[in-house]
């Protein structure tokens, strides 16, 4: 019955015309019911009217340590006036028709093929009225449902019909949702190569309409997001996936805690759906907006579009060079190598980086700029201005990007020359993000590492308290530098550990031990209750873990672990402390391991209910220790012995011989390459597992395998020799 009614509903020739009549009471009731039934998550409050709160203010360039400072202090945005667009009122008959369609297909189980036909037929009724219907708050929801369920032919037909009014629809609060739904539906059809020509034809028509006046749509909060979705479609990547990176991930990339996502662009470059269309569209869009580049530089929404373009063009050096030179305000003439920035007003760039939108854009430029252009930006534009920029609440992010994307040791030397002696000033101004970015860059490029560690230590601690006070003051960086009496400052109990201070120490403990001895002395001098408090803090526990993961001697690690004696039980059931307990166990010798497990034993029921507890119970073999302590000790000793023998045979040559009672993993993890280390660990675990079941020593397996292999080889050689002699006899 439902199918028959729907076919009758959508197959009629709808001839409603535009009218200024008001909807009837029945239609108002139906429309109100539809608003309550489906709101698509859109907010109707005045606060959010006209603003897409989920996307309009995000930055493509990743997060930064001081990002909160920038977002609130500088609100200057250039708004470009948009061409007036008067939307005609929808006639009552059309409104009634789409209300009936919505009530019929929403919440009703329909065969997918039949649903596709129904949606396609309903979309045909929108021809000539796409702009009015898509920008209607109520009917736009219905159109989204139809676009999600229709065939590719109807989808492309709808987009082509919208092309003439595309900019107006995309710039509307409701219309933007309709267009993005259509683009998202298109992306699902890209998996079939046979659909590409049909999709490309529709996209070309849309692009042709946009380049007539791209500035309006780029500078609109809704239109910019639609435009970014369209650009990502050229690469075959949905916008949500393309910009799913959180600010914390961007910060981790800059601090070497995660591989730079510029490397991930290799996968983006391999996805080439419409590469020529992307390049042509970007080129024509820039040409059409050539007289409004200054407006695009200052507008927060157009800045987001341009950042997306930069990321999509990663790997295309010529296109990137042209785009970046245009965005920097370069003259249109050709530029020679070494003079790429000729004609650019350097003072203008230095002024613009103090604006919120442009500073975000400059971060993206520095991230994706080829080395030749980066070199000129650093040497010709920003050199001798780095400290002044670091003092500014927006420009300091550009300095962070300069350090994070430095290409060589020469670049790092120039940055260090200006900022190496200014760390204390930067800490006092609250610009610790600049310091941590410089530290990460020195570590990545192996330039000025020792000097950077010394400069940080000197910035926070001098005099008689050196080096004991270094780690506590870095942990509470903001609290220390905000205190009036710094000489009498002490550990502030109950205060959260500073995130950037934690990141600084994590970076430092990844350096070679000979460069960071003052930090080792400082952290091992902490009071027991301070170590316990840090282990329960989300940022502090990361510092303890990084120290225990470092290549510092096992003796120093065990010195810190021993300070937690008597607290391993409470830490094991703590959401952050549980991770610290695992690292403590790995870094400990047999006696300390026994202490850790003994303290955790009474808390087995609580551990089994906690998030990390079941993993700790298995990893530390708590149940095995409870049942047979002596055998548990024997297994731990066997594991240590097996690991030592394994590394002595297969480990890297630079690995030092083991000291007596030294924890094996604690001293060799950081000296081995991560990739090889994972493979070695897997082999160790499988070998140890088989050794447990057969009660055979680790090396016995290796010997037995070699003996068996040698016997098999002898048999094979014997057979080969016999067969060879037979062949010779036959030949003779």
Q: What's the whole-number mean pLDDT along residues 182-197?
A: 89
7 or 277: which leads in pLDDT: 277
Sorted by sequence, the CB contacts under 8 Å of residue 132 that are 6+ apart come out as 18, 87, 88, 89, 90
CA–CA dist 401, 258 (Å, integer): 16
User: Quick check: 467 pLDDT over 50?
Assistant: yes
pLDDT digits (tens, 9 = 90+) for 362-394: 999 999 999 989 999 999 999 999 999 999 999
283 confidence band (pLDDT: 50, 70, 90): very high
CA of 303: how far to CAs of 218, 228, 404, 429, 698, in Å? 8, 11, 21, 28, 61
Structure tokens at 509: 């403990």
- Comparing CA positions, the residue from 617, 687, 611 lying closest to residue 645 is 687
% the chain with pLDDT above 90: 55
**Residues 276 and 381 sit within 8 Å (Cβ to Cβ):** no
pLDDT digits (tens, 9 = 90+) for 415-446: 999 999 999 999 999 999 999 999 999 999 99
85 confidence band (pLDDT: 50, 70, 90): low
**Residues 560 and 548 sit within 8 Å (Cβ to Cβ):** yes
CA–CA dist 644, 665 (Å, integer): 9
CA–CA dist 97, 30 (Å, integer): 11
Q: What are phi and psi of 575, to 5 degrees?
A: -60, -30
Look at the block and give the residue holding tokens 């749509």.
217
Q: In this predicted structure, what is the pLDDT of residue 86?
A: 63
User: Quick check: 256 pLDDT over 60?
Assistant: yes
659 confidence band (pLDDT: 50, 70, 90): very low
Sorted by sequence, the CB contacts under 8 Å of residue 609 that are 6+ apart come out as none
pLDDT digits (tens, 9 = 90+) for 514-529: 999 999 999 999 999 9
CA–CA dist 169, 178 (Å, integer): 8
**Residues 666 and 645 sit within 8 Å (Cβ to Cβ):** no
- Report CA 454 to chain centroid distance, whole Å: 31
Q: In this predicted structure, what is the pLDDT of residue 454?
A: 95
663 confidence band (pLDDT: 50, 70, 90): very low
243 confidence band (pLDDT: 50, 70, 90): low
Tell the burial category of 256 from Cβ atoms under 10 Å away from its Cβ (0-12, 13-18, 19+).
middle
**Residues 55 and 225 sit within 8 Å (Cβ to Cβ):** yes
Q: In this predicted structure, what is the pLDDT of residue 706?
A: 42
Helices (H), 12-51: 25-37
User: Quick check: 60 pLDDT over 70?
Assistant: no
- Residue 379 DSSP symbol: I
Q: Quick check: pTM over 0.85? A: no
């Amino acid at each position: 019955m439902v199918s028959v009614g729907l076919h009758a509903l959508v197959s009629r020739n709808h001839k409603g015309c535009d009218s200024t009549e008001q909807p009837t009471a029945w239609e108002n009731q139906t429309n109100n019911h539809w608003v309550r039934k489906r709101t698509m998550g859109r907010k109707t409050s005045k606060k959010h009217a006209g603003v897409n709160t989920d996307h309009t203010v995000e930055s493509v360039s990743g997060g930064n340590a001081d990002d909160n400072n920038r977002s609130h202090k500088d609100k200057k945005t250039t708004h470009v006036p948009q061409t007036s667009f008067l939307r005609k009122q929808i006639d009552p008959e059309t409104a009634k028709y789409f209300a009936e369609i919505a009530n019929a297909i929403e919440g009703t189980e329909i065969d997918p093929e039949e649903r596709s036909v129904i949606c396609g037929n309903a979309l045909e009724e929108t021809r000539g009225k796409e702009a009015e219907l898509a920008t209607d708050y109520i009917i736009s929801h219905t159109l989204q449902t139809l676009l999600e369920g229709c065939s590719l032919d109807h989808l492309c037909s709808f987009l082509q019909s919208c092309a003439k009014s595309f900019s107006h629809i995309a710039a509307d609060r409701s219309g933007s949702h309709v267009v993005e739904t259509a683009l998202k539906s298109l992306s699902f059809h890209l998996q079939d190569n046979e659909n590409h020509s049909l999709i490309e034809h529709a996209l070309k028509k849309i692009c042709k309409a946009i380049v007539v006046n791209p500035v309006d749509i780029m500078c609109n909060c809704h239109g910019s997001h639609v435009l970014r979705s369209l650009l990502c479609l050229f690469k075959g990547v949905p916008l949500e996936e393309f910009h799913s990176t959180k600010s914390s991930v961007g910060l981790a990339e800059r601090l070497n805690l995660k591989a730079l996502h510029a490397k991930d662009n290799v996968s983006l470059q391999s996805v080439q759906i419409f590469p020529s269309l992307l390049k042509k569209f970007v080129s024509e869009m820039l040409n059409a907006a050539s007289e409004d580049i200054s407006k695009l530089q200052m507008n927060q929404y157009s800045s987001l579009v341009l950042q997306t373009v930069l990321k999509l063009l990663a790997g295309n050096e010529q296109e990137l060079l042209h785009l970046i030179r245009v965005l920097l305000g370069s003259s249109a003439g050709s530029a020679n190598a070494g003079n790429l920035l000729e004609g650019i007003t350097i003072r203008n760039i230095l002024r613009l980086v103090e604006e919120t939108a442009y500073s975000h854009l400059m971060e993206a430029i520095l991230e994706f700029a080829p080395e030749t252009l980066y070199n000129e930006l650093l040497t010709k534009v920003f050199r001798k201005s780095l400290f002044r920029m670091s003092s500014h609440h927006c420009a300091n992010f550009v300095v962070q990007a300069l350090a994070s994307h430095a290409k060589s040791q020469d670049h790092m030397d120039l940055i260090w020359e200006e900022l190496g002696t200014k760390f204390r000033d930067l800490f006092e101004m609250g610009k610790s993000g600049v310091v941590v970015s410089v530290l990460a860059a020195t570590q990545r490029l192996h330039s000025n590492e020792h000097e950077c560690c010394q400069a940080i230590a000197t910035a926070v601690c001098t005099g008689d308290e050196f080096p004991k006070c270094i780690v506590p003051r870095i942990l509470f960086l903001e609290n220390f530098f905000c205190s009036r009496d710094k000489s009498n400052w002490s550990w502030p109990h109950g205060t959260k550990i500073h995130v950037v201070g934690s990141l600084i120490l994590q970076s430092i403990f990844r350096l070679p031990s000979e460069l960071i001895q003052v930090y080792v002395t400082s952290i091992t001098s902490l009071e027991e209750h301070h170590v316990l408090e840090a282990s329960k803090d989300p940022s502090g526990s990361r510092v303890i873990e990084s120290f225990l993961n470092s290549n510092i001697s096992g003796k120093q690690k065990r010195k810190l672990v021993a300070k937690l004696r008597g607290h391993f039980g409470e830490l094991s059931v703590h959401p952050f402390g549980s991770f610290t307990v695992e690292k403590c166990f790995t870094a400990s010798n047999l006696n300390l391991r026994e202490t850790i497990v003994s303290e955790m034993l009474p808390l087995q029921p609580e551990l089994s209910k906690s998030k990390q507890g079941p993993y700790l119970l298995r990893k530390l073999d708590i149940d095995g220790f409870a049942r047979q302590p002596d055998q548990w000790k024997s297994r731990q000793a066997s594991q240590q012995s097996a690991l030592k023998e394994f590394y002595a045979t297969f480990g890297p040559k630079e690995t030092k011989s083991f000291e007596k009672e030294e924890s094996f993993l604690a001293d060799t993890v950081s000296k081995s390459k991560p990739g090889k280390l994972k493979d070695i660990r897997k082999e160790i675990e499988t070998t140890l597992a088989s050794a447990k079941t057969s009660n055979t020593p680790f090396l016995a397996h290796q010997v037995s395998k070699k003996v068996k292999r040698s016997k098999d080889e002898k048999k094979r050689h014997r057979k080969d020799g016999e067969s060879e002699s037979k062949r010779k006899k036959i030949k003779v």
